[in-house]
Structure 1
Amino acid sequence: MSDITNSELDRRTLLRRAAAVGLAATPAVGMLSACVGGGEEDTTDQATGTKSADNPLGVDPKAPIEIVIFDGGLGTKYATDVDTPLYNKKWPESKVAYSATQEISTTVQPRLNAGDAPDMINNSGAKMMDFGAIVAAGQAQDLTELYAAPSFDIPGKTVAETLVPGTAEWGSYTGKPYALNYSYTVFGLWHNATLFEKNGWALPATWAEFTALCDKIQAAGIVPFGYAGANAAYYMVRALLTSAGKIGTEQVLKDIDNLKPGAWTAPAVLEAAKAWGEIGKKYLDKSFLGLKHTEVQLQQNQDKVAFYPCGSWLENEQAKDTPPTFKYAVAPYPSVTTSDKLPAAAMNAAAGEIYFASSKGKNPRGGMEYLRVMLSKEAATEFTKLTKSLTVVLGAADGVELSPGLTSANAALTKAGKDVFMGYLFDTWYKKLGDESLSAVNDLMFKGGDAQKFCDRMEAASQALAKDSSVQKQIRS
């Protein structure tokens, strides 16, 4: 494996990528059509300290802090072995209570509703909470002070100045930042480069090449393409909509986010649904509908599945089950038509993995300070080493020897150049619509559902939401 060093992950590279995905332009997340509810917070019992140059967020040095981390593809060692020790080094009198879960909504939502919220929460996974509803209920801390505060370990810079431009805006609702999207994720067709090299399989650039290769893979006794229907349908939604974005540009996805009439039945979405529906009929093992993500991923590690649609957390998530001969690599989703508006090399990459401080917890300032620790260069560098994932902290991966998968992801981003796009937000903004997309894509892929039915179903759900005055709407520009 060749090392990726400073020259390949420098500030200009990340800035270029940020601009390409729309982060460096005007805020991607616009204003809600109405103000959030929840009213003023009762901060009577919340811990506070005296603000100073050494304590810019006004943390109570002795106040305990509670954090809850999602135990998924990124693992939890970055929290237990890096972030928490750094926090304790800074605030030795503060006790950090830590827990991890794979079911965030089950564990945390009742506590938010009961007024017993943890101070910092990693909202992720198949059972992530509806973050738009959390913001609307006034349960998320405004992070404006965090981004304006001095960096934890980079002198002379604010936190915001150390991050990929637009990081704060991407997690904004009603014009204010509430979510920190920490991990920079590359999405595509993940595969074992060793297996492909061994069989002389060239990565496809066109859909005809893709299906022809799937035929070869199938003839070799390997499932050409797979994902887990039980809890990873999100991966397939992203694959389908990435193809739609390549066919018609990211505007197709912005229209979906903005609940524009006809967005889901647009030609680009229909073409993508038709193409992927055929893959489901011909090349997908239907038994995967009842499997969880790690079960299908294990089959891929055993070379029983060739292509897996996922993000760059995959390599770390499967580390304990990956044999030495398995070399993770990622390829862009092939062009669906001969007239796609974005080239075959175009990639979907995004800042994701939500972390937030609870505004109604006992120590929201401690929650923000924990995020400031996470956004230090030291913490971000160690995160990349431990998780094989980039962060939004500029330059944090400089000099780090990257894994095969992350090396491949970086090479794909470099090849894509300006044709890296962010994707969509509707599933984060409107959880009910996101859930509908999971069911709809499983029907399309596993049950022989046709593309028009998929598009019509999602269009109906989108427009029902658009007409529901009880749901606060958001605008993506």
Structure 2
Amino acid sequence: MSDITKSELDRRSLLRRAAAVGLAATPAVGMLSACVGGGSDEKNDQATGTKSADNPLGIDTKAPVEIVIFDGGLGTKYATDVDTPMYKKKWPESEVKYSATEQIATTIKPRLNSGTAPDMINNSGADMMDFGAIVKAGQAADLTDLFAAPSFDVTGKTVAETLVPGAIEQGTYDVEGGRKPFAVNYSFTVFGLYYNKKLFEKNSWTVPTTWADFIALCDKIKAAGITPFAYAGANASYYMVRAIMTSAAKIGTEQVLKDLDNLKPGAWTAPAIKQAAEAWGQIGVKYMNKSFLGLRHTEVQLQQNQDKVAFYPCGSWLENEQAASITPNFEYAVMPYPSVTTSDQLPATAINAAAGEIYFASTKGSNVQGGKEYLRVMLSKAAALEFTKLTKSLTVVAGAADGQTISPGLTSGNEMLSKAGKDIFMGYLWDTWYKKMNDASLEAVNALMFNGGDAQKFCDTMEKVAQDVAKDSSISKNTRA
């Protein structure tokens, strides 16, 4: 559910290109002592130790550290079977208190507001917290010292020097005192249209690159008694939002998405957005099962595994999430979203790929340096490799999975990345910067896809919400260059 991919191209150079970001945040995000939603603003006692070459973050080596992991598409084994044992091996006198949940905001917000938060939190899923608000409230720790610390297992390099370019920038915000990093965006995701390669081979279906070919194939698939396209309206509408955003960027370049992030007036009613919404809206009208509006992501994904659904828009965590449902007759593959128009400014091979899956240390925990040390373990080359093996997703640790045998879906994703070359774009950030816009987009995209394909209504609805956010002085603003 949460948000995330892999080929013949050298993975290190591949990730360097794909993670290039270039964000710039305005000084509107202030480090405030008030908590998100109110609550205690008293500073809790922090466990600290003496800094040394072996203990660069100065943790209390005997103090417990508490972590909470989102239980979604990436699973939790990387935390229980890899990261925690590595932490314990390094610091045997420290207890790691671990828990997992699908309801991050419901579970964590009250603890942040009461000053009793976990030390390291994986903020993800449909119930993820507004991270911009967390930064604004001073509840996320500055990770400057983490990135400047020596790598856990790469001799002679800092943590920052082991990461793909753009990885730190993606979690950086402007606050009082300057721009600072507050999040580790750990998993590297490729987004596209997933399908069963064996089903396509059986029926001699060719992967489409143009919209005309996509429509023609959808007609063939429908005639074969299979739903051509589907997503889950109950809790995975953001998969569809990303599909529309990706198509819009291919029509008009990534600048279209930057305009949305920057709350530019008229950005949501721009031609590229409307063209993308119109094209996908018609897919909803002609080729989707309307009952899927009430289904959850795993229910629709299971139907794809049973060859009842052909195309499914998702990120590269999908293969791992569905591992238990994959039969010998099913082999995941992924393709770029087809070109919507004959004049798209980016080629058909262009794709959206980016770092995602937020992890942060909380200032409202009792062992913030321990939380950072846990992140240092996660950012080791060894932990990153095991994460890829377990989740079928890359990480922002450069080259960690080089030379590894990977799964069919991951291989397909890497081939897609290789073909994309320089035409790989990060995507958009308004959904994480402005929760009000994210919430509105989920309703708007469901109305578009399940209720008639009215692209103008989709654009007008989102334009109004965006400008309401722009005019609301209580909402901290961020900008992209």
CA distance in structure 2 between the aligned counterparts of 1:404 and 1:354, rounded to whole angstroms: 26
Indicate conservation of the 8 Å contact 1:17/1:417, yes or no: no
1:383 Cα deviation after fit: 0.2
Give me the whole-angstrom Cα distance separating, in 2, the residues matched to 1:52 and 1:296: 51
Query: Residue 353 of structure 1 aligns to a residue in which SS?
Result: strand
**2:34·2:138 contact (CA, 8 Å) conserved in 1?**
yes
Is the partner of 2:359 in helix, strand or coil?
A: strand
| TM-superposed deviation, 1:449 | 4.2
Larger mean CA deviation between 39-48 and 330-339 belongs to 39-48
Letter in 1 for 2:353: A
For residues 71-90 of structure 1, the aligned pairs below 5 Å read: 71-90=71-90
1:29–1:170 CA contact under 8 A, matched in 2: no
Q: 1:45: how far off?
A: 1.1
- Give the RMSD, CA atoms, in angstroms: 1.4
| Aligned-pair CA distance for 1:43 | 5.0
- Offset, 1:83: 0.2
Matched, 1:48 2:48: yes
1:466 correspondence with 2:473: no
Shift of 1:186: 0.3
Which residue of 2 is the match for residue 33 of structure 1? 28
After TM superposition, give the deviation of residue 399 of structure 1 in Å. Answer: 1.9
CA distance in structure 1 between the aligned counterparts of 2:29 and 2:87, rounded to whole angstroms: 37
Q: 2:455 aligned with 1:451, yes or no? A: yes
**Which residue does 1:157 correspond to in 2?**
157
Is 1:317 aligned to 2:321, yes or no? Answer: yes
Q: Is contact 1:259–1:466 with CA below 8 Å preserved after alignment?
A: yes
2-structure distance, mates of 1:10, 1:89: 29
Secondary structure of residue in 1 paired with 2:31? coil
Q: CA deviation at 1:39?
A: 7.3
Contact in 1 for aligned 2:83/2:378 (Cα 8 Å): yes
Cα distance in 1 for partners of 2:94, 2:332 equals 40
- Alignment check: 8 A CA contact 1:346 1:416 kept: yes
- Residue 415 (str. 1) matches residue 423 (str. 2): no
Between the aligned partners of 2:13 and 2:245, the Cα distance in structure 1 is 28
Between the aligned partners of 1:140 and 1:404, the Cα distance in structure 2 is 37
Q: Counterpart in 2 of 1:247?
A: 251
User: What is the aligned partner in structure 2 of residue 266 from structure 1?
Assistant: 270
**Total equivalences in the alignment:** 467
How much does 1:368 deviate?
A: 0.3
Structure 2, unaligned runs of 5 or more: 1-5, 36-40
- Taking structure 1 as reference, are residues 184 and 34 closer, same or farther at Cα in structure 2, changes over 3 Å only? closer
Matches within 5 A, 1:44-443: 45-174=45-174, 175-443=179-447
Q: Conserved in 2, the CA contact under 8 Å of 1:189 and 1:332?
A: yes
Aligned partners of 1:9 and 1:397 also within 8 Å: no
User: Is the 8 Å Cα contact of residues 228 and 290 (structure 1) preserved in structure 2?
Assistant: yes
Query: Which amino acid counterpart does residue 152 of structure 2 have in structure 1?
Result: F
Give the CA deviation at 1:29: 3.8
- Please report how far the alpha carbon of residue 395 of structure 1 lies from its aligned counterpart in structure 2 after TM superposition: 0.9
Q: Name which of structure 1's ranges 35-44 and 303-312 shifts more when overlaid on structure 2.
A: 35-44
CA change 1:339–1:367 in 2 (3 A) is: same
Do 1:105 and 1:127's aligned partners in 2 also have CA atoms closer than 8 Å? yes
Q: Specify the code of the residue in structure 2 equivalent to 1:11.
A: R
Runs of 4+ in 1 over 6 A off after TM superposition: none
> Is 1:11 aligned to 2:6, yes or no?
no
Does the 8 A contact of 2:148 with 2:158 survive in 1? yes
Shift of 1:433: 0.7
1:441 aligned counterpart, secondary structure: helix
Q: Post-superposition shift, 1:33?
A: 2.8
Does the 8 A contact of 1:33 with 1:473 survive in 2?
yes
Q: CA deviation at 1:180?
A: 0.5
Aligned residue type for 2:193: L
Query: Aligned equivalents of 1:355 and 1:15: distance in 2?
Result: 21
Amino acid in structure 1 at the alignment position of 2:18: R
- TM-score, L = length of structure 2: 0.95
Residues in 2 aligned to 1:418 and 1:10: alpha-carbon distance in whole angstroms: 14
Q: Which amino acid aligns with 1:378?
A: A
Secondary structure (helix, strand or coil) at the match of 1:214 reads helix
TM-score by length of 1: 0.96
Aligned position for 2:3 = none
1:66 and 1:417 mapped to 2: Cα distance? 41
For residues 82 and 76 of structure 1, the distance between their equivalents in structure 2, rounded to whole angstroms, comes to 10
- Give 1:398 deviation, angstroms: 1.1
Tell me how far apart the structure 2 counterparts of residues 46 and 239 of structure 1 sit (CA, whole Å): 44
1-side partners of 2:432 and 2:31: how far apart?
A: 16
Distance in 2 separating the partners of 1:370 and 1:9: 28
CA deviation after TM superposition for structure 1 residue 407, in Å: 0.2
Q: Tell me the secondary structure at the aligned position of residue 269 of structure 2.
A: coil
SS in 2 for 1:462: helix
Determine what percentage of the aligned residue pairs are the same residue. Answer: 72
Distance in 2 (alpha carbons) for counterparts of 1:123 and 1:149: 23
Determine the C-alpha separation between the residues in 2 that align with 1:34 and 1:138.
10
User: Is the CA contact (8 Å cut-off) linking 1:29 and 1:171 kept in structure 2?
Assistant: no
